Amino acid sequence: MTVTRASEPSGNPPVDDGDPVHTLSEGVNQAMDIAMAEDPEVFLLGEDIEDPIGGVMKGSKGLSTKYGRQRVRNTPIAEQAIVGTAIGASLVGMRPVAEVMLMDFFAVAMDQVANHAAKLRYMSGGRTHVPITIRTSVGGGRQFGAQHSQSLEAWMMHIPGLKVAVPSTPRDAKGLLYSCIFDDDPCIFMETMSLLFTRGPVPAGRFALPLGVAEVKRAGDDVTVVTWGWQVPEALAAAETLAGEGISVEVLDLRTLVPLDREAILASVARTTRAVVVHAATQFAGPGAEIAALISHELFGQLSAPVERLGAVYSPIPYATELETLAFPERTRIADTIRTLA
Amino acid sequence: MTVTRASEPSGNPPVDDGDPVHTLSEGVNQAMDIAMAEDPEVFLLGEDIEDPIGGVMKGSKGLSTKYGRQRVRNTPIAEQAIVGTAIGASLVGMRPVAEVMLMDFFAVAMDQVANHAAKLRYMSGGRTHVPITIRTSVGGGRQFGAQHSQSLEAWMMHIPGLKVAVPSTPRDAKGLLYSCIFDDDPCIFMETMSLLFTRGPVPAGRFALPLGVAEVKRAGDDVTVVTWGWQVPEALAAAETLAGEGISVEVLDLRTLVPLDREAILASVARTTRAVVVHAATQFAGPGAEIAALISHELFGQLSAPVERLGAVYSPIPYATELETLAFPERTRIADTIRTLA
Amino acid sequence: METPGAGMMTPETSANLSDDAAVRIFRTMTTIRSTEDRIMRGLGAGEFRMTYYNVRGQEAIPAAIGEHLKRDDYMVTTYRGMHDCIAKGIPLDEMVAEMCGKVTGTSKGKGGPMHLSDPQSGLMVTTGVVGGGLPIAVGLALSSQLRGTDQVTVVNFGDGATSIGATHEAANLAALWQVPLIFVCQNNRYGEHTAFADYTRTPSLAERFKGYGMAATTVDGNNVPEMFEAAAEAIGRARAGGGPTFLECLTYRLGGHTFGATTEYMDPDEFAAAEADEPVGNYRRWLIETRGIADATLAGIEAEVTAEVEAAVASAKASAPPPPDELQIDVFADPVSVPR
Amino acid sequence: METPGAGMMTPETSANLSDDAAVRIFRTMTTIRSTEDRIMRGLGAGEFRMTYYNVRGQEAIPAAIGEHLKRDDYMVTTYRGMHDCIAKGIPLDEMVAEMCGKVTGTSKGKGGPMHLSDPQSGLMVTTGVVGGGLPIAVGLALSSQLRGTDQVTVVNFGDGATSIGATHEAANLAALWQVPLIFVCQNNRYGEHTAFADYTRTPSLAERFKGYGMAATTVDGNNVPEMFEAAAEAIGRARAGGGPTFLECLTYRLGGHTFGATTEYMDPDEFAAAEADEPVGNYRRWLIETRGIADATLAGIEAEVTAEVEAAVASAKASAPPPPDELQIDVFADPVSVPR
Ligand SMILES: Cc1ncc(C[n+]2csc(CCOP(=O)(O)OP(=O)(O)O)c2C)c(N)n1
Ligand SMILES: Cc1ncc(C[n+]2csc(CCOP(=O)(O)OP(=O)(O)O)c2C)c(N)n1
Ligand SMILES: [Mg+2]
Ligand SMILES: [Mg+2]
């Protein structure tokens, strides 16, 4: 994996392939472990996050044993209470990390997220603020069906006051989550299930990545793929295939959607003059629409081709594998789309 | 108001200025009244919708008196129960019209809306479906503050399975609501507060407008403004001003966002080669992003200028009038934006 | 905990339960049990794949309730609802096919095990969102009230679902409107991996639900005669216009949260006691010993059921996955409404 | 209905209420009343504009509770919370300025009357979403528990808010964790335009909340000594680690839902009876007749308060609206995070 430092003004440290190898879930776990060790005001709450379960996706494994059940708290099945409780504690300076088991379940808690967490700083004229992090697993591609497979980052992006992080590697997961926990505003942290147990180098010890800084996961000259989360490895695989066909693809991993690294997007596409925006969220009125509209507007007249978007088809996510694989973008369809541009 | 029939393939009847004049709220009331008279399976539920209140925005005024409290039902303050109850009754063939008092309050009911109403037809392979209509008032521009002023159509558009209607005139309100009530899928019907008591001609008796058919509210040649709801009269006012400056503006009122009248949008912009998308929703990751991305993609190379977007600024809606008027688009800023293109 | 089912041996509790009904209930419980056994065997052998929410231990609840329901009564259940679906009469082959994602399934393979529904048999909704089915059930029940029919609606949910807002809103509204709805809380003592006492201080769910102004009782959900009587009373009241009832049915989840999931957080002694007292075998013994039903009769039913289940699995396996063009069908009634 | 306040004349209920405290409570109630009167006058005269949620009739509740709170205790309230804000000690001038959308307001005019907050005085959140404040209050109370302080949190909400999911989730969690939280349900008999009996069959909210395993009582919210005692007990218990309490404070909304809103759906006799028995005048009489406080003392306080209120209104009117560059300030700590 080539990494340029071009898009890392804030001194985003380079990947050192000598770093110990961990899963994305372990990266998440390390960030919380270090944050809890550093700051007694950090605590965790959510469903089944205590040991022996340690979270149904294992993110908090070992932490209740290490820090106790005061700071790692199982909750009832009550997402409004989970998010609201985090908000309340954060208003007086604590740094709660709440877990909403699956992103689809945000639907029961959007009032706390959108009408309260996102707005309290503004509604109080800055007298209060909400330094919470809400971790959530994102399904898709696992036959979980229509209610357990949604990527809803577009809902979050559209509400002023929410930051949104979507790591695609164990390293990014650790660095971004650490920064979310210590950020002074509400952060939605999306953990893509299909990446949770993929492995990669993770810097040991305290490690932070700035929010709002995209990373070029693969450098290229002909076409820019703007993507995040689940679709990053898919895009990298497509780029690899196309390299064999003489098409040089740059894969830009946004890593956070709010703040949005506008400069990195425009710099890359200004160079390649071709862009494809790829995401697991529904394409229609999805997150890619903002990015495609941004590129088309800012680089008007400089593009060699229309900005393409590749997201989930317009339908609830079907259960049968044979249909679900058609519902989400994946390497071959990404490659096909890129070929139409190059 | 000029009206072309060009964009009305489905025989959308013309405005007859001889029609009796009513408010938008009265148009809504007439549609429900006629639907209830025609079909005993139509019933209404929501907070304070019974007489003497008849809905805090008066939409159901007189209907509980006329049809009784069995068919016009006050509910507790419980939006999940309101929407869920409507869904349940609709599964067995009734046609409930639920009211969610303000669009901001959808945030407490999104699970019923997005995970159930939108998905049940698909999740049951078509064995069930959800013919409900959810009416809601949309604030903004009235000093209601950050939690009572949001236009959240983007949330709805992004969830496959939901139709979204946003009338800008009393006539459209009557015709669209009637069609929503008898549509076999869930429809979100947005009633813009600042337009509720504006007056206009409304055809007497049974009157339906097809969903998915935009209307040219003013024909023009130089620039197309794509808009809906609250911003339609603002765009018309801007167009009027600009006519005096020799700029001919076409105002296309989408009327429904799902189904989206793609053909009408592309036909108009293909002709004018310039487009501004205007809406009251937050601009970032907003509904206009989809439309701007669509136009930029489909008309690549045929546009004389980048597609501009004008939506609410990225901030919770402020309370003080002096700030709130800066937060939303309005006629002068629309006109300024158009001037930069023409 | 007091062991569910333990009280079953008292014959006087079965006065109104005829032999025919008792045997029909046995058939239903046996069908549920043998379908689960067959699915687990298939999963273990890699014969097919799915996320399976085991119902072992909870068979008696829907089997006893089902005896009082007509085909046109409505039911809503959850991901852990295969037993409810079987008791309500979903065709077994269509159900298994759906769980396997096949086109002959109830949802053409597009819904999956968490979204079984078949209006023909009155199974209206299966939801994967905890608590999500309850407000919908209020609407189903309201439709019967408005139409003046004597249909009732049964909504099944777990003990853990009592913590979520939708459940509360539905209970308050159902009581207010006196709709013909039976809230069947299948208290299997765990919400995913969390025990009852770890998510609420409520001493009794039935007491709590009385607070909404509705009838509420706690019943031994593993005791068929007791379940049968409690269901008769609640359903009878609902049909007669007497409004909703909350039934807390005490049972025990004889497995992890899903097939293959850990049970390490469950008290082993408690688990062993519940397993020793598991309702199907328990009920079978009771039928023979207390009700004098011939072992051969029951064995005959078991043989028939095994064959039915095998046939359902075979037809599911033989069935094709949904064709690609199904992807955007059933989004709207009218495909042209789908945005491109 | 039984008229709130009617029981106040029994002296024994005021044993622990010192004269000083009794007079401080009078001052708070008078401040609330005269602020409301002044705002309504200003609205009537077109002196300023706002959506005003009248609190007339509910003054005794926060005034009595406030007497037991320290500045660093937390409070959460609703759009109808001006009385709570005053009792918690929000600077009057900043509060009125915020309601008028001025830059000297608690939120620089960006929040408005529905979003008053001032951490300095412990008023942490005012929400416009029914039920939205309760889960947040659980978190505030949890913070005190985790930090080992003796702070308590008071969350105010209306009777209608008891129907919504968030309220239920918060109650269950607060009881489970035994956080130092007092649920103050100001039962003014109406949820917007709907009377209590038209949105629930619950006979008693206090009984219903006992179902969560927490202390719960019904108190006459217009009876200062009774409110004072009930608050003392609940707050004392919370400080001592005894967990949350639900207080159903019976009162009456002496007006429409908002300033200028219709009251046509309210029983005129009921309304007249409540008005005749309104808490401020009632309490004033009681102070004089039962507690022997000199009329002159109270008149002096009333004069001071009137002057304070007048000064607050004057400073609000003199204050400027927030400058345009405030529009995108306070979205994030860091303005560069704001998308362009
Ligand atoms: C709103 C929501 N939150 C969380 C989940 C994840 N989840 C699925 S099942 C379950 C446990 C439910 O427990 P209970 O209600 O007792 O039902 P049981 O599984 O025991 O039948 C949880 C937390 C969900 N599906 N929906
Ligand atoms: C979730 C939600 N639904 C509806 C409303 C509209 N609304 C504002 S106040 C109100 C009545 C609330 O009644 P109650 O809780 O008794 O408080 P009160 O106004 O009597 O103080 C309603 C329905 C809202 N603000 N939030
Ligand atoms: Mg359970
Ligand atoms: Mg009230």
Give B83's contacts in chain C (Cβ within 8 Å). Answer: 135
Q: Which residue of B has its CA nearest to C153?
A: B88
pLDDT digits (tens, 9 = 90+) for A49-87: 999 999 999 999 999 999 999 999 999 999 999 999 999
Indicate which residue's Cα is closest to atom 18 of ligand 1: C158
Burial tier of C259 (Cβ tally within 10 Å: 0-12, 13-18, 19+): middle
**Nearest ligand 2 atom to alpha carbon B108:** 1
Q: Which residues of B are catalytic?
A: 79, 148
Chain D closest-CA separation from residue C195 CA (Å):
13
Interchain proximity B118–A288, CB inside 8 Å? no
| Residue B15's pLDDT band (cuts 50, 70, 90) | confident
> What pLDDT score does C15 carry?
78
pLDDT digits (tens, 9 = 90+) for C128-153: 999 999 999 999 999 999 999 999 99
Site to substitute for ligand 2 among D78, D114, D130, D194, most atoms within 8 A of C-beta: D130
Are D315 and D44 within 8 A, CB to CB?
A: no
The mean of the pLDDT values for chain B is 95
DSSP B112: I
| Residue D4's pLDDT band (cuts 50, 70, 90) | low
Does the pLDDT of residue B87 top 50, yes or no? yes
d(CA C25, CA C28): 5
Does the pLDDT of residue B3 top 60, yes or no? no
Give A125's contacts in chain D (Cβ within 8 Å). Answer: 105-111, 330
For residue C273, how far is its CA from the centre of ligand 3 (angstroms)? 18
d(CA C105, CA C87): 18
Does the pLDDT of residue B9 top 90, yes or no? no
d(CA C334, CA B212): 12
pLDDT digits (tens, 9 = 90+) for C281-337: 999 999 999 999 999 999 999 999 999 999 999 999 999 999 999 999 999 999 999
Q: Which of C201, C203, C213 sits opposite D202 (nearest CB)?
A: C213
Does the pLDDT of residue B236 top 50, yes or no? yes
Residue D125, CA distances (Å) to A15, A258, D43, D121 in order: 43, 25, 25, 11
Question: What is the C-alpha radius of gyration for chain B, rounded to an integer number of angstroms?
Answer: 19
d(CA C330, CA B243): 46
> What pLDDT score does D309 carry?
98
> What pLDDT score does D137 carry?
99
Angle ∠(B322,B325,B328) on CA atoms, nearest 5: 150
| Residue A8's pLDDT band (cuts 50, 70, 90) | very low
Q: Which residues line ligand 1 (CB under 6 A)?
A: A 47, 77, 79, 101, 105, 108; C 80, 128-130, 157-161, 188, 190-192, 253
> What SS3 class is residue B50?
coil
The two structure tokens encoding residue D134: 């309760």
Q: Which chains touch C (3 or more CB pairs under 8 A)?
A: A, B, D
> What pLDDT score does B89 carry?
99
Does the pLDDT of residue A2 top 60, yes or no? no
Does the pLDDT of residue B14 top 70, yes or no? no
CB atoms near residue C242 (< 10 Å)? 15
Are B181 and B42 within 8 A, CB to CB?
A: yes
Does the pLDDT of residue B324 top 60, yes or no? yes
CB-based contact, B258 to chain C, within 8 Å: yes
pLDDT digits (tens, 9 = 90+) for A85-107: 999 999 999 999 999 999 999 99
CB-based contact, A303 to chain C, within 8 Å: no
Interchain proximity A123–D115, CB inside 8 Å? yes
pLDDT digits (tens, 9 = 90+) for A291-303: 999 999 999 999 9
Does the pLDDT of residue A108 top 70, yes or no? yes
The mean of the pLDDT values for chain C is 96
> What pLDDT score does A256 carry?
98
Interchain proximity A80–D169, CB inside 8 Å? yes
Does the pLDDT of residue C226 top 90, yes or no? yes
CB-based contact, B123 to chain C, within 8 Å: yes
More confident residue, B6 or C4: C4
Does the pLDDT of residue C115 top 80, yes or no? yes
> What pLDDT score does A14 carry?
67
Stretch D95-114: mean pLDDT: 98
Site to substitute for ligand 2 among D183, D192, D202, D252, most atoms within 8 A of C-beta: D192
For residue D187, how far is its CA from the centre of ligand 4 (angstroms)? 5
Percentage of residues of chain C with pLDDT beyond 90: 95
pLDDT digits (tens, 9 = 90+) for D156-187: 999 999 999 999 999 999 999 999 999 999 99
Does the pLDDT of residue B205 top 90, yes or no? yes
> What pLDDT score does C13 carry?
59
Whether the bond between A259 and the residue before it is cis, its omega within 30 degrees of 0, is: yes
The mean of the pLDDT values for chain D is 96
Q: Residue A308 is inside which H or E element, if any?
A: strand A308-312
Chain B closest-CA separation from residue A30 CA (Å):
32
d(CA B16, CA C302): 73
Residue D23, CA distances (Å) to D84, D211, D283 in order: 18, 37, 10
Does the pLDDT of residue A6 top 50, yes or no? no
> Torsion angle of alpha carbons A47, A48, A51, A56, nearest 10°?
-110
> What pLDDT score does C48 carry?
96
Q: Which residue of B has its CA nearest to A301?
A: B301
d(CA A223, CA A276): 8
Chain A closest-CA separation from residue D170 CA (Å):
6
Chain D closest-CA separation from residue B48 CA (Å):
6
Q: Which ligand is nearest to the CA of C54?
A: 1
> What pLDDT score does B1 carry?
32
Does the pLDDT of residue C253 top 90, yes or no? yes
Percentage of residues of chain A with pLDDT beyond 70: 96
For residue D195, how far is its CA from the centre of ligand 4 (angstroms)? 8
Q: Which of C137, C177, C330 sits opposite B122 (nearest CB)?
A: C330
Pick from D328, D329, D338 the residue to mutate for testing the B interface (most B CBs within 10 Å).
Answer: D328
> What pLDDT score does A7 carry?
37
ipTM score over 0.90, yes or no: yes
d(CA A249, CA A242): 7
> What pLDDT score does A9 carry?
41
Interchain proximity C139–B84, CB inside 8 Å? yes
Indicate which residue's Cα is closest to atom 12 of ligand 2: D191
d(CA D91, CA D107): 12
Stretch B299-312: mean pLDDT: 98
**Nearest ligand 2 atom to alpha carbon B48:** 23
> What pLDDT score does C10 carry?
56
CB atoms near residue D251 (< 10 Å)? 26
Q: Which residue of C has its CA nearest to D132?
A: C165
pLDDT digits (tens, 9 = 90+) for A239-284: 999 999 999 999 999 999 999 999 999 999 999 999 999 999 999 9
d(CA D107, CA D113): 10
> What pLDDT score does A87 carry?
99
Stretch A118-146: mean pLDDT: 98
SS (H, E, C) B251-307: EEECCEEECCCHHHHHHHHHHHCCEEEEEEEECCCCHHHHHHHHHHHHCCCCCCCCC
pLDDT digits (tens, 9 = 90+) for A137-191: 999 999 999 999 999 999 999 999 999 999 999 999 999 999 999 999 999 999 9
> What pLDDT score does A342 carry?
84
pLDDT digits (tens, 9 = 90+) for D268-281: 999 999 999 999 99
| Residue D9's pLDDT band (cuts 50, 70, 90) | low
For residue D80, how far is its CA from the centre of ligand 2 (angstroms)? 9
Give D108's contacts in chain A (Cβ within 8 Å). Answer: 125-126
Stretch B213-230: mean pLDDT: 98
> What pLDDT score does A117 carry?
99
The two structure tokens encoding residue D80: 């109808």
Burial tier of C147 (Cβ tally within 10 Å: 0-12, 13-18, 19+): middle
C112 — phi, psi (to 5°)?
90, 180
Percentage of residues of chain D with pLDDT beyond 90: 95
pTM: 0.97
Cα B270 off chain centre by: 25
CB-based contact, A69 to chain C, within 8 Å: no
Q: Residue C42 is inside which H or E element, if any?
A: helix C19-44
CB-based contact, B194 to chain D, within 8 Å: no
Pick from D104, D162, D163, D258 the residue to mutate for testing the B interface (most B CBs within 10 Å).
Answer: D163
